[in-house]
Structure 1
Amino acid sequence: MDRITAFGDDALGELDAVGLVEALRAGTVSSAELVEAAIARVEAVNPALNGLAYEAFDRARDRTRLHRPYGGYFDGVPSFIKDNVAVAGMPTREGTDAWEARPAAADGDFARAYLATGLVPLGKTQLSEFGFSASAEHPRLGPVRNPWNTDHTAGASSSGSAAFVAAGVVPIAHANDGGGSIRIPAACNGLVGLKPSRGRLPLDKNVRQMPVRIVHNGVVTRSVRDTAAFYREMERVVANPKLPPIGDVTAPGRQRLHIAVCTKSILRDSSPEMTELTLKTAGLLEELGHRVSVIDNPVPPRFIDDFLLYWSFLAFALVRGGRRTFGETFDRTKLDNLTLGLEAHAARNLVRLPLAIARLARTRRITSRLQSTYDVLLTPTLADVTPRIGHLDPTADYQQVIDRLVEWVAFTPLQNATGEPAISLPLGQSASGLPVGMMFSAALGEDARLLELAYELEEAKPWARIHD
């Protein structure tokens, strides 16, 4: 097993983002030292991990050299932004070679808020093509590899961000989630990944216009306190008055919860290993005084078909509108088989799309019934352990890839349809030594409840660190 880490005796050390803020305020490190250490780390591990989509090292150096602070709590902490949001001066490639991307003229709505927290972007990170696959395996650039074992995928679509945070390049990086793309790479790489409530964080215009807003921005981190601090700070920049505030969550909650546990996906049972690890987590919750009940999956089988059709429609819109959206250089022949297969699936089934969208928009009725009895739902983040590179090869036959995706990514899409918050925590480890994520979801707006529970579980069962 080839494990890749960047941790070392430099300005970053083993500190998380909150620890770096404390060091900056104490004067024991400077933002210039942190940026240089992060640049050295990415240069050391990127040849093995392949997580970098675009480097903006000189931009980050200039900011610290010229003492141009953005302000914000995280001012001076190095980070990365996923390569599917607009950042002024950086191209947005969306994980594909299908057009010639040019630098954005201005920050998008999300990047504007993200940078207002003070985080210093060193560039952009790789993703699967348009974020459609749960494994980033670019036909030309190669796969993004898991730092715990480079024979395995880093998950996706926020793969580069997760690989870099897990390996110690930076403590926090942007991720976003349209079907699990924060939670999946968090689970694969041993990280904390919260998909927040719909409307919690801003979206760029292109995703705000979706009929069902399944995409949510967020971050991946190595500690609960980093995730909690990020949402606290984003709330100070741009708060949604229609949602209960998260506030400053710094410790476990006192309330004992009634937690439903489900190990069966809509299609099938989770693998025996994932089922066992999920039930062990349920046992830990009982030891902590929570009430736990095992339930069957309440989601009807048609949800899979509806979500897949909607997912396919997004590919259809991108492919058919490629030149209008991306310019005259757009070339559909450079798209991978997964994207083209999704586009074809949508084209064959467009007549079914309005009803599928209507049903997806009503999905929260299912979870609302659950929430009348239970405070939180626990499932495995994924139905099986992290696969090897090639299992989800996007150049393979479309039907093979989509069947494997649907089986593996069995639990995460539900909260994208409902808009409810869900967090993946690295509470398990597979027999082969890879991290395993456990997912907790709650009612819309109850992000703080999930963070309080995450703090409690992190204290009760500290998760394995890649550099231990």
Structure 2
Amino acid sequence: MLSPTEYDQLDGLGMATLVASGQLTAAELCAAAIARAEAVNPRINAIILKLFEQAQQRATSDLPAGPFGGVPFLLKDFGAQYAGVPHTGGSQALRHFVPTEDAELVRRWQAAGVNILGKTNTPEFALLAVTEPALYGPCRNPWSLGHTPGGSSGGAAAAVAAGITPLAGAGDGGGSIRIPAACCGLFGLKPSRGRVPTGPEQGEKWQGAAVEHVLTRSVRDSAAMLDATQGPDVGAPYFLPQPERPYLEEVGRPPGRLRLGFTLAHPLGRPLHPECATAVREAASLLESLGHDVEEVPLPFDGRAVATAFLMLYFGETGASIVSLAKVLGRPARPADVEPTTWLLGLLGRTYSAADFAAARHTWNEHARRMGLFHEKYDLLLTPTLATPPVRIGELQPKPFEQKLLKVVNTFGLGGVIRRSGLVEKLAEQNLEKTPYTQLANLTGQPAMSVPLHWTADGLPCGVQFIARLGAEDVLFRLAGQLEQAQPWFSKRPSLAS
């Protein structure tokens, strides 16, 4: 029988190696994961749909002998459709929706050998940087139960940080892999646009801004899973050059002498939390000690322009999601079908014109060119992942007067009035001021990672972000492997995981 301590000391590849050699069985791993879930999930609310019986059955059958053969795994309840299993997207409107086929990425994860134990908590339609859906209730950070694990892949991050599974599926449309990684002390890489498939139903998600991958404790698990899933599927609109060698091999390779520019400037001109500034400065010092060239640089992008372009995407895609609910509901969606904030975002999406959306879309290309120029001099941009450590549960929820305003606006369809008042931009900016660094890579399509190199005086994780040129995941994995060896974080665990 695998003890909890022994289970916690293994990453995914370590588990798979023991299964392949006959030292462990998939059933033993499954039992250990379920035991851990039963012990900690009631306190963190990370898993909202248990598939334990199915997992136990699969563990005793022939799972694919992939790189993660027999390894327990969790799916985010958004994007990663799993045939025959409810897929709610954190919304009561979809609580009865059951897809009939797997997403292509889910097929590839299963081909890699993982054993799916359940689905994880996410905000409605994966819209927020905190995970507090009305349907399932808030997910809590294993490092401090009063704080958020981030979003929108908060349930995935909380589950991995709590030691339920060594890795879990996640998605990133504005930082939703990197933000939870930073909040929960994990490694989180957002791949380049087009690196992993989005089929079979969609050629791209969120106009190409959203990409799916995994959250992990070890760098090598992330690399090996990207090896297993990368490459276009049928009808893919984007084609990137194949990597020179497997990403897993990059993790142990010397990164060479890299040129890094770091910035402490807040993209929206707000104060940066001292702990986040310390995290970047400490990372810069560590990088210099490893032989890299590091210098402070001005912010190489227009933070307000990026925020404005992202909000246009945010409003438009939320509006489209609400319209598409008619396919499931058999009627047009109503305000009561979704959360008030979601409905308001959808109303706003309908108040902007196609010309407005196209003009904002041009900003994406402008910033891709800006970053291209930046990377002519620097290999990587180093920033805080977040502008503040994890916030407390409920801190970003609408205040009572805002809730009343939302009710009036949604009841009378006053999206245009609210738009013209400027209130929405104010509220949106207040939320983006906590997470202003992550949206850039979604709009430009670049790969980016959050690395857990700092913990606050209160013991909360505080990640740093590295952004590379398009298609340069290999550079990120080489550096991440070096950082992991120089300043290990795998054994740094929340007390809840013990």
Q: Which amino acid aligns with 2:296?
A: V
Unpaired segments ≥5 residues, structure 1: 1-6
Question: CA contact under 8 A between 2:319 and 2:346: conserved in structure 1?
Answer: yes
Q: Corresponding residue for 2:380?
A: 376
Listed one character per residue, the Cα deviations across residues 76-102 of structure 1 (whole Å, up to 9, x for unaligned) are: 101001111211111110011123423
Query: Is it true that 1:116 corresponds to 2:88 in the alignment?
Result: no
Equivalent residues in 2 for 1:127-276, closer than 5 Å: 127-205=122-200, 207-210=202-205, 212-235=207-230, 242-245=240-243, 247=246, 248-268=249-269, 269-276=271-278
Say whether residues 1:21 and 2:22 are aligned partners.
Answer: no
Work out which of the residue numbers 345, 353, 360 in structure 2 matches 1:356.
Answer: 360
Aligned partner of 1:69 in structure 2 is 63
Query: Do structure 1's residue 388 and structure 2's residue 392 form an aligned pair?
Result: yes
Query: Given the alignment of the two structures, is residue 337 of structure 1 paired with residue 340 of structure 2, yes or no?
Result: yes
| Count of aligned pairs | 461
What's the counterpart of residue 4 of structure 1? none
- Counterpart Cα distance in 1 of 2:225 and 2:204: 26
The residue that corresponds to 1:465 in the other structure is 493
Aligned twin of 2:81 = 86
C-alpha contact 1:196 1:218 (8 A) present in aligned 2: yes
Q: Are 2:283 and 1:281 aligned?
A: yes
Compare the two structures and name the one with the higher helix fraction. Answer: 2
Alpha-carbon distance between aligned partners in 2 of 1:260 and 1:170, rounded to the nearest angstrom? 35
1:207, distance to aligned residue in structure 2 (A) = 4.9
Q: Say whether the 8 Å CA contact 2:322–2:333 is kept in structure 1.
A: no
Can you list the C-alpha shifts for 1:224-252, whole angstroms capped at 9, x where unaligned? 11112212222489798632415132314
Whether contact under 8 Å (2:447, 2:473) holds in the other structure is yes
Q: Distance in 1 between matches of 2:59 and 2:427?
A: 44
Q: Which amino acid aligns with 1:200?
A: R
Which range moved further: 375-384 or 96-105? 96-105
Unaligned runs of 5+ in 2: 407-423
Residue 322 of structure 1: CA displacement?
A: 2.0
CA–CA distance in structure 1, aligned partners of residues 12 and 24 of structure 2: 13
Normalising by structure 1, report the TM-score.
Answer: 0.93
Task: Give the aligned residue type for 1:115.
Answer: Q
Of 419-428 and 109-118, more deviation after overlay is shown by: 109-118
Alignment partner of 2:442 out of 403, 416, 425: 416
Secondary structure in 2 matching 1:293:
strand
Preserved contact between residue 187 and residue 426 of structure 1 (Cα < 8 Å): yes
Distance 1:237 1:364 in 2: 22
Q: Give the superposition deviation at 1:212.
A: 2.4
> How many angstroms apart in 2 are the aligned matches of 1:237 and 1:41?
36
1:456 aligns with: 482
CA distance in 1, matches of 2:399, 2:35: 33
Tell me, in whole angstroms, the C-alpha distance in 2 between the residues paired with 1:55 and 1:64. 15
CA distance in 1, matches of 2:446, 2:167: 23
* CA distance in structure 2 between the partners assigned to 1:391 and 1:197 by the alignment: 32
What is the aligned-residue RMSD (CA, Å)?
2.3
Aligned residues of 2:195 and 2:232 also touching (Cα < 8 A):
no
Residues 305-327 of structure 1 show CA distances to partners (whole Å, capped at 9, x for unaligned) of: 11101111001111233213554
Displacement of 1:161 in angstroms is 0.8
TM superposition shift of 1:103 = 2.4
368-377 or 253-262, larger mean C-alpha shift: 253-262
Task: State the Cα distance separating 1:115 from its structure 2 match.
Answer: 1.0
Q: 1:333 to 1:172 in 2, by over 3 A?
A: same
Give the drift of 1:294. 0.6
More strand per residue: 1 or 2? 1
CA change 1:383–1:10 in 2 (3 A) is: closer
Question: Percent identity over the alignment?
Answer: 36
SS of the counterpart of 2:452?
Answer: strand
In structure 1, distance between residues paired with 2:277 and 2:94: 43
